[in-house]
Amino acid sequence: MIYPYIKVNPKVVAFLGLTGQREKLKLDGNSYLWKFDLLPLGGNNDETIRMIGGVGLQRSEVAAEQRREVYFELPVAEDERFRMEGQTLPAENEEAPTPAEEDPEENASEQEIPNDEQENNPEDKNDDNH
């Protein structure tokens, strides 16, 4: 999704060379970027926003936060370059081992009788004729 504003931490602002061009929020020291500010990082999309630890916001959400009606806390950046001091990704966000997928053919062969065995059984054919 494309967001008109992206709330980011000071490391992202500095990395993009926008320090002094984007105002720091008194509330938490973070800043709002405009959607085109993220072009050097890959564009304004959910993947880039996760990478930098930002929050994509609509105009009404920014206004509500400025009025202190809501607060949008920033997640930990996936990319270490954008993590604030002391931040780490929670262990549960790391890829957990998934159970091995079962082979559908293996299960089918155990549960089903192949059609050729049913057709080759002479007793079944004789029962149909009686």
Q: How confident is the model at residue 57 (pLDDT cuts 50, 70, 90)?
A: very high
Q: What's the chain's average pLDDT?
A: 78
pLDDT of residue 87: 79
- CA dist., res. 87 & res. 80, Å (int): 9
Is the pLDDT score of 46 beyond 80? Answer: yes
Structure tokens at 103: 């082979």
Structure tokens at 104: 């559908």
**Cβ atoms 99, 26 nearer than 8 A:** no
**Cβ atoms 55, 49 nearer than 8 A:** yes
pLDDT of residue 95: 56
Across 42-51, 52-61, 96-105, 108-117, the highest mean pLDDT is recorded for 52-61
Q: Which residue has the higher pLDDT, 123 or 78?
A: 78
Length of the chain: 130
Q: How far is CA 43 from CA 18, 40, 56, 57, in A?
A: 16, 7, 12, 15
